[in-house]
Chains A and B, each alone.
Chain A
Amino acid sequence: MVARFLKLKLRLLGNLFRRSPWQIFGLVVGFSYGVGTAVAAAAGLIALRLAPVELARDVVVSAGSLIVLGFLLVPLVFGADDTLDPRSFSLFGIPTSKLSLGLAAAALIGVPALAITLVAIAQVVTWTRDAGTVLVALISMVLIVATCILGARVTTSIAALLLSSRRAREVTGLTSLLVLSAIAPLVALAVTVDWAKDGLRVLNGLAGVLAFTPLGAVWAAPAAAAGGNAGLAILFLFIAAAFLAVLWFAWSFVVSRMLVTPERVSRERPHAGLGWFGLVPGNQAGAIAARSLSYWGRDARYRASLVIVPVIPAVMMAALYPAGVPFHVLVLLPVPIMCFFIAWSTVHNDVAFDNTAIWLHVASNIRGWADRLGRIVPPLLLGIFVIALGTPLTVWGYGSADVAPALIGMSSCVLLVGLGLSSVISAAFPYPAVHPGAGPFAQPQSSAGGASWVQGLSFFAVLGISIPSVWLAVLALQRGGGYSVAALLVGLAIGLAAIIAGVYFGGKVFERRGPELLAFTARY
């Protein structure tokens, strides 16, 4: 039975490569990334062979705990692949014990398992100091791999079990976003610790605590053995083994529960009336705008692409302030940067977001420009809102109203150019997107290979076209006066030209390529 599951997993992995070259390229990149990280970690562990026991212990336990935590949490936050979801096997009548063993074993095949195995073997090398220690390290090695893989399976399945309804999935997606945004300052804090001076002390304290937790015990056992404390080593191994046992029982329990729990069906509150549709003009562009607005409100995928909008200026300011950039200059950054990301990161793959539902536009033979115009309405409104609200705040932070025209000019320019370019790009170069109804962080089955160049090119194209306005805004900052008004006028002129051209040419492309766009979305 176990062999059967292993074969199935191997076949699934093999089938990943029966795709288009771009997708295979993406897979290879992902694979190299995973294995590369593991090799780097393994190299570090091997290097620690020469370090004193104390130091090696602190580093291994801290980093190791982080790895275990990662295996436990990453599936919860990002949602993991559920190609071997226990529910898929519910109709085969396989005994639960066999099924849970088989699925757990199958999880041992894959890039994450390969990576953690490399690391686990490397930590044996770290502790090749005497026979007893090596023995303990070997036991740890097995426990590490089993704990990480089983832990990931458990949390993946719990996530799948609890988050099976669409509503729950979307809510969780957003919660995890908030968690991630909250972690960002923590990471920033960690970066500010003067590691050169206090690093070892911090690490030592951390490792001391973590060693007694299920996360760190498995890594701490060989270290204790190397330090000559056999009793402590056995205690650590015991903690690790107990944790593994708990995971195993949890896993068996989850599998047996999943086999009898069908996917949840959710009921939602009714939405009376036409919503946005009642507020817009009753023509094609208006209806498409209302549809986009409804989706921005209801579909977590759109919100997911908006989350980075406030994060990026915050990170930039946090990074630049310690570098000595004065505060009154920093406050000029958020509005244009937010406008840039509102315009660039939201709608440049809008057609792919619709997936095959786009047939309705193709079958109705709608006017291309109406489709393009309707789709950019939500980000346009949002951008205008940011400019309207952000400009007075910026002026207040900067301490002078002179900067306002240049700021408005540059922000509008970036916003309008971004939307204009997105209008062409989403019709001409769609790339696979998360399917409607999937978690916002679920990755489409295909690679990002085709996506990255579209994203990169459009990113620099927006910046390139906006250069005159940005340059004038910088001159306005240095010299003031007429340059500020010039930045406003030039920015608006470039922006309006770009958005009109984008909607027009994007519409032409959309009309011409309608069936091809539908065929593209049907492939993924």
Chain B
Amino acid sequence: MGFSLDTVDHVQNADSILAKFDALIEKLHDESAEEKRTVQAEVKKKQKKAKAEAAEKAVVLRVEGLSKQFGETKAVDEISLEVSTGTVQGIVGPNGAGKTTTLSMICGLLRPDEGKVFVDGMDVWANPAAAKRQMGVLPDRLRLFDRLTGNQLLYYAGILRDLPPQTVRERIVQLSRTFGFEDALPRLVADYSAGMVKKIALAAALIHSPKLLVLDEPFESVDPVSASAIIEVLGNYVKAGGTVVLSSHSMELIERMCDSVAIIVDGKVLVSGTVDEVRGAGRLEDKFIEVVGGKGAVEDLEWLHDFSS
């Protein structure tokens, strides 16, 4: 029995030693995992920092405290924005919120009362020559030189941007094919429909391949086919490193196109961020209506249901 007892003792000893080893090994594993995790975290942190720095450098449009007053009303009240290269920034807001005023000041068409706009690091209002060269502009509700034919207008826009005539001619052919207004080129712009005018104005904004596009309501009265052509063109432009700032009333289009969005109400940015951040769980349209505070104000117009005879 002594033998057997001894054996049992030994086995027990060996078991406990083995268990100790196991524990030790496990501990070692844990420690290495911990170490690995901290290292990984550190690497991640560093990467994040580098990315943030890169983004900081790649801000192509920076708006600082932009303000504009018309008489008594403050149309734009200290708006600030940053747009990184290769992104699409949407600006939405109810009618009269100050979208057009903001975009006009960004692209150098309306002198702000206060604030600064930097395009690619250049101050639009202190150094307009350099800053405006980087921008393509599509204003809303301003006339075009509509006594020119479409062809002449695009050529005019290209030459005013100091492009060589031959280049302009080639680009007119390509742009008109893409946007589908080849047939309209020989007609006067005055005789175009509203959607056609938008398309040709957009083509004029693109013709000098700017770094930044500022588009005020680019999809207004444009048919669905042309709209998807425009979206595709802008998508490729952004992929190649271009940047777009646009305003629209179509939340669907904003959701589809934009990386980030800012909701402007009464001249102030109420919400801004990436589209996902802004819309949260629901649709962008619901968030927009919630922010603007529209739904609560709708009264039930009962008389509307008693039709006049």
Q: Identify the A interface with B (CB < 8 A).
A: 166, 265-268, 270-275, 277, 282-284, 286-288, 290-291, 294-295, 298-299, 354-357, 359-366, 436-437, 515-516, 518-519, 522
Could you list some 19 contacts between A and B, CB below 8 A? Answer: A266-B191, A267-B191, A270-B149, A271-B186, A282-B164, A284-B160, A291-B148, A291-B156, A294-B147, A294-B152, A356-B141, A356-B142, A357-B146, A360-B145, A360-B157, A361-B160, A363-B137, A365-B133, A515-B108
Indicate if B151 sits at the interface (CB-CB under 8 A).
yes
Contact of A268 among B155, B157, B187 (CB under 8 A): B187
Indicate if B128 sits at the interface (CB-CB under 8 A).
yes
**Given A282-B159, A287-B156, A522-B142; A298-B147 close (CB under 8 Å):** yes
| 9 cross-chain pairs, A with B, having the tightest CB-CB distances, nearest first | A282-B165, A270-B186, A287-B159, A365-B132, A364-B160, A357-B143, A356-B142, A363-B137, A356-B143
A354 to B155, CA, bound (A): 18
CB distance from A321 to the nearest CB of B (A): 41
Contact of B188 among A265, A271, A274, A290 (CB under 8 A): A271
A-B contact count (CB 8 A): 113
Q: For the A-B complex with A268-B188, A437-B146, A515-B109 known, give 17 more contacts whose Cβ atoms are closer than 8 Å.
A: A267-B191, A271-B152, A274-B152, A277-B156, A287-B155, A287-B159, A291-B145, A295-B145, A298-B188, A299-B147, A355-B143, A360-B145, A360-B204, A363-B107, A364-B160, A365-B129, A515-B111
Interface residues of B in 23-65 (CB under 8 A from A): none
* A516 closest partner in B (C-beta): B111
Contact of A363 among B132, B148, B149, B164 (CB under 8 A): B132
Contact of A359 among B109, B129, B161, B168 (CB under 8 A): B109
CB distance from A336 to the nearest CB of B (A): 31
Q: Are B149 and A275 in contact (CB under 8 A)?
A: yes
CB distance from B204 to the nearest CB of A (A): 8
Q: Which of B110, B137, B149 has the most CB of A within 10 A?
A: B149
> Could you say which residues of chain B place their CB within 8 Å of the CB of A272?
186
A357 to B189, CA, bound (A): 12
Q: Are B160 and A360 in contact (CB under 8 A)?
A: yes
Contact of B145 among A275, A354, A516, A518 (CB under 8 A): A354
A325 to B151, CA, bound (A): 54
Q: Are A357 and B144 in contact (CB under 8 A)?
A: yes
**Given A291-B145, A515-B110; A274-B191 close (CB under 8 Å):** no
> Could you say which residues of chain B place their CB within 8 Å of the CB of A436?
143, 146-147
Q: Are A166 and B109 in contact (CB under 8 A)?
A: no
> Could you say which residues of chain A place their CB within 8 Å of the CB of B155?
274, 277, 287
One digit per residue, 1 when the CB lies within 8 angstroms of any chain A CB and 0 when it does not, for chain B 96-126 equals 0000000000011111000000000000000
Q: Are B162 and A362 in contact (CB under 8 A)?
A: no
A265 to B152, CA, bound (A): 22
**Given A357-B145, A364-B157, A522-B142; A437-B152 close (CB under 8 Å):** no
With an 8 Å Cβ cutoff, the count of chain B residues facing the other chain is 39
Indicate if B242 sits at the interface (CB-CB under 8 A).
no
> Could you say which residues of chain B place their CB within 8 Å of the CB of A355?
143
Q: Are B142 and A357 in contact (CB under 8 A)?
A: yes
A266 to B191, CA, bound (A): 7
Q: Which of A273, A277, A518 has the most CB of B within 10 A?
A: A277
Indicate if B135 sits at the interface (CB-CB under 8 A).
yes
A286 to B111, CA, bound (A): 28
* A370 closest partner in B (C-beta): B160
Q: Which of B107, B110, B152, B165 has the most CB of A within 10 A?
A: B152
* B160 closest partner in A (C-beta): A364
CB distance from B150 to the nearest CB of A (A): 10
Indicate if B139 sits at the interface (CB-CB under 8 A).
yes
Indicate if B227 sits at the interface (CB-CB under 8 A).
no
Q: Are A284 and B110 in contact (CB under 8 A)?
A: no
> Could you say which residues of chain A place their CB within 8 Å of the CB of B111?
515-516, 519
CB distance from A94 to the nearest CB of B (A): 14
Indicate if B222 sits at the interface (CB-CB under 8 A).
no
> Could you say which residues of chain A place their CB within 8 Å of the CB of B165?
282
A144 to B144, CA, bound (A): 46
Indicate if B251 sits at the interface (CB-CB under 8 A).
no
Q: Which of B132, B146, B164, B204 has the most CB of A within 10 A?
A: B132
CB distance from B269 to the nearest CB of A (A): 23
Q: Are B108 and A365 in contact (CB under 8 A)?
A: yes
Indicate if B291 sits at the interface (CB-CB under 8 A).
no
> Could you say which residues of chain A place their CB within 8 Å of the CB of B159?
277, 282-284, 286-287
* A280 closest partner in B (C-beta): B159
A365 to B128, CA, bound (A): 7
A268 to B132, CA, bound (A): 35
Indicate if B271 sits at the interface (CB-CB under 8 A).
no
A275 to B155, CA, bound (A): 11
Q: Are B190 and A359 in contact (CB under 8 A)?
A: no
> Could you say which residues of chain B place their CB within 8 Å of the CB of A437?
146, 190
* A295 closest partner in B (C-beta): B147
CB distance from A292 to the nearest CB of B (A): 10
* B135 closest partner in A (C-beta): A363
* A364 closest partner in B (C-beta): B160
> Could you say which residues of chain A place their CB within 8 Å of the CB of B161?
364
> Could you say which residues of chain A place their CB within 8 Å of the CB of B187?
268, 270-271
**Given A295-B147, A360-B145; A287-B186 close (CB under 8 Å):** no
> Could you say which residues of chain B place their CB within 8 Å of the CB of A366?
160
Q: Are A363 and B108 in contact (CB under 8 A)?
A: yes
* B205 closest partner in A (C-beta): A363
A365 to B136, CA, bound (A): 12
CB distance from B272 to the nearest CB of A (A): 25
A288 to B162, CA, bound (A): 12
**Given A277-B155, A284-B159, A364-B132; A359-B147 close (CB under 8 Å):** no
> Could you say which residues of chain A place their CB within 8 Å of the CB of B168?
282
